[in-house]
Structures are given as C-alpha cells and as structure tokens.
Amino acid sequence: MLARIAAQAGTPVFVYSADAIRSQHAALTGALAAVPHRVHYSVKANSSLGVLDVVRRLGMGADIVSAGELARALRAGFVPEHMVFSGVGKTPAELATAVDARIGLINLESEAEFATLAAIARDRGRRDVAVGIRVNPDVTTDTHPYTQTGKAGMKFGVPLDQVIPLAQRVKESAQARLVSVGMHIGSQITDSAPYRSGAEKLSGLVVQLRRAGIGSLVSVDVGGGLGIDYGCEPGLEAAAFANAVAPLAQQTGLLLLIEPGRFLVGNAGVLLTRVLYQKRSGGREFVVTDAGMNDFMRPSLYRAYHEIQVVSEAPLDFARPRSTPLAGREGGAEGLVDIVGPNCESGDYLGLERALPGAVPGALLAVLGAGAYGFGMSSHYNSRPRAAEVLVDGRRF
C-alpha cells in the first residue's frame, strides 16, 4: 500500500495508521483502568485533522498550547470542556479566546499569567474560569536536553515553593477556581522513575494545599512524555507508567489527567521519500532524497535516530544513470551511506552511516517513527512546499 500511496500522493508524504493509534490508546487506557482518568491528546505531536478525528472518536480530549491548536481542535469536533490549555507564553489574546470558548482547564505557568487571565475574566464579568497550576516538580529525566522540562531552573512550571501563594491568590480572586495541579516533566522519557518521583511530590502538594484551605481540586495532571521505541532503546511500557502515576490518583482521590502525544502517534506514522541521486565525496557515500530537514527536523535538530527502510525499488520510468554504483557496496565507511536531504545545509540529513543496499535512485524509502513531531515541525525552508499527509484506515487511505 505504501508504494501505491507514494505513486498517488507523490513524495515526500507522511502516512499515518489509524489502527496503530487505536491500539496505543487501548494499551494506555487498559493499563490505567483501575483509576478514574481522562486522556487529553497532545495536539502538538500531530495536528493533522485526520489524526485529530481518529483521536476524538476514541473519546479523548485535547491538550492545546495555542489559539491555532484550539481552532484545529474545534474544527475536528473536540468540545471545549474536554480541552486543557497549557504553555508558558500564552498571549492575552489567546487567554481571552480560551476564556470565551470556556476551555475546561487553563494551566497557569506563573503568577503574572494569572494576573493577566484574571483581568481578562473581570472584563468579561466571568467568575468561574477553571484553572490549574503547572508545577515544576524538580525531577531529573534522562532525555534530550531540549525536551527536559521538569527540573528547577527551567522556564516551565511554577516552582514548588511558589505554588501555595499562587493557589491562595486564585482562591481569593472572584474570577477563577483552582481545580487542578499538574506537571509535565519532559518528552521521550523511557524510565518510569521520574514519573514516580514527580507524582509523589504532587501528592504531597495536594495534602499541603488542602491543609491551606484549598478545597476546590478535582484533578491532577501528570502530563505526557511517554517514550517510544525508535529502534535503539525500548519505550516506556504503559503498565510501568500506570504503576508510577496511579498511586497519585488513589492517594488524593482526584481524577487523573494525562497528556500523551508521541506515545499515541509516533510509531503510527512514516515519512516516505524517494531517492534522487547517489554521490561520493571524501570517502563518504551519499544517498540524496527528496525529503530533508524542512520536512522532518528531528534528525537534524536532536540528532534523533530514525530507522530507514527500503520500501520498493525504482519505478520503471525513473531515469537511473548506468554508472551509479549500488549504495553500500562501494565507497562509504564500511559500506555505509548517509541519507541526506535537498536543503542547503550540511546538517540536513535523515540518517547517517546506514547499511541500505537497496537505496538506489528511484527507490522509495520509509523513515520510521515519523508520526509525532514530523509534519508539525516541518517548514517551508528553502521555499519548499510541505509534504502531503495521508491517513490509512483499514484498507482505505
């Protein structure tokens, strides 16, 4: 089917599997079955309307971080009550839009943000804005430095010692109710230990808040970040995650909220790209593809590893120069090739030093694990058009 999609939609193209999303959702909700919980899909991971439609039909809510994501989520049919609005830099206009839409939960990141929100609610005569506090629990995660968010000294969350004073301010305000406390400690986390320690800190915090007279809490939010298997290390098992966070819900009696993105869609998507040329330089062998860093940034930005496979040989009408050596057979470090894109930067690559003998001009390649933070982080750099996106559902696409 992948070859047929590439032929019809052209390349580069992202292809997503609805069934793969459904089975990840089933694994997660199955593991959490013992505790009352709600899943808010983190829209930033993949905000394609087709994907959002699959997610919404599974009964999930949406975790959004901008007015743009709000617009997409609304268009995909999510109801505002089932949305959580997070983000360290929500603009006054975005906060106003969220208040007007009656978003289910606005997660505060600072006292200054609350002052802005309260003024907006006051102007509108609103007295019932549901807010949460995103706490920085100061836990260490072993993930890429760019995607760590739960450690003190980072821009995210309200430091533990500032939570009670902020909660008091919310309580004293006539505009808002504090209904939740939460955390989001990072992304692509493959170990359950930081979830456990963050959850323990949140549990202690709930006790302190109640002692301080805050009796309005209804939920605790443990964020997203569940790591997946990209082919180099095992991902976080749903059961291990559930074991780490379920005690928080049990001890506090609060509804558990989670905000996974990558776990649901990461391995549900591939990026298809066609090989254009091969060339050799300074002892390295290059395979040049029609997808590059503007289409898929993760390798260039995070040095992320994504497995690459040959899907099919060159179509008959693809002009293949006779002199082209078979990739991986001649030249290159130990027969390995660099899969590089067409963008004008040396950091533009999809994979380095790979054994990929079939990657001859015209061949179709699949970059695996491209369902999360793929299209969403793509750009028009070099004035290149965006890749197409295709959703496969059963035998239809």
Q: Which residues inside 49-88 make contact with ligand LLP, applying CB under 6 A? A: 63, 86
Q: Which residues inside 169-188 make contact with ligand LLP, applying CB under 6 A? A: 184, 187-188
Told to check if 300 binds ligand LLP by CB under 6 A, we report no
Told to check if 263 binds ligand LLP by CB under 6 A, we report yes
CB of 45 to ligand LLP, least distance (A): 4
Alpha carbons 384 and 178: distance in angstroms, whole number: 46
Paired with 87 in beta bridges are none
x/- mask, ligand LLP, residues 129-168, rule CB under 6 A, reads ------------------x---------------------
The binder of ligand LLP chosen from 259, 285, 290, 389 (CB under 6 A): 259
Would you state the structure tokens that stand for residue 229, as one six-digit string? 């298997």
CB of 34 to ligand LLP, least distance (A): 21
Paired with 189 in beta bridges are 226
The binder of ligand LLP chosen from 150, 198, 260, 328 (CB under 6 A): 260
CB 101 within 8 A of CB 70: yes
Comparing CB distances to ligand LLP, the nearer of 44 and 196 is 44
Distance of CA 367 to the CA centre of its chain: 17
**Does residue 128 come out as left (phi exceeding 0), alpha (psi in the -120 to 50 range) or beta?**
alpha
x/- mask, ligand LLP, residues 318-357, rule CB under 6 A, reads ----------------------------------------
Residues 6+ away with beta carbon under 8 Å from 175: 117, 118, 121, 122, 126, 127, 129
Told to check if 106 binds ligand LLP by CB under 6 A, we report no
Told to check if 225 binds ligand LLP by CB under 6 A, we report yes
Per the annotation, the verdict on 232 as an active-site residue is no
SS3 category, 68: helix
Amino acid present at 344: C
CB 40 within 8 A of CB 60: yes
User: Which of the following is catalytic: 344, 346, 380, 394?
Assistant: 344
CB of 161 to ligand LLP, least distance (A): 21
Paired with 63 in beta bridges are 42, 84
Alpha carbons 299 and 292: distance in angstroms, whole number: 10
Would you state the structure tokens that stand for residue 127, as one six-digit string? 């007295």
How many positions of this chain bind ligand LLP (CB under 6 A)? 22
Told to check if 38 binds ligand LLP by CB under 6 A, we report no
Would you state the structure tokens that stand for residue 64, as one six-digit string? 């959004």
Told to check if 309 binds ligand LLP by CB under 6 A, we report no
CB 71 within 8 A of CB 48: no
> So which residues are the catalytic ones?
344
Contacts with ligand LLP by CB under 6 A lie at 42, 44-45, 63, 86, 147, 184, 187-188, 223-226, 259-263, 298, 372-373, 377
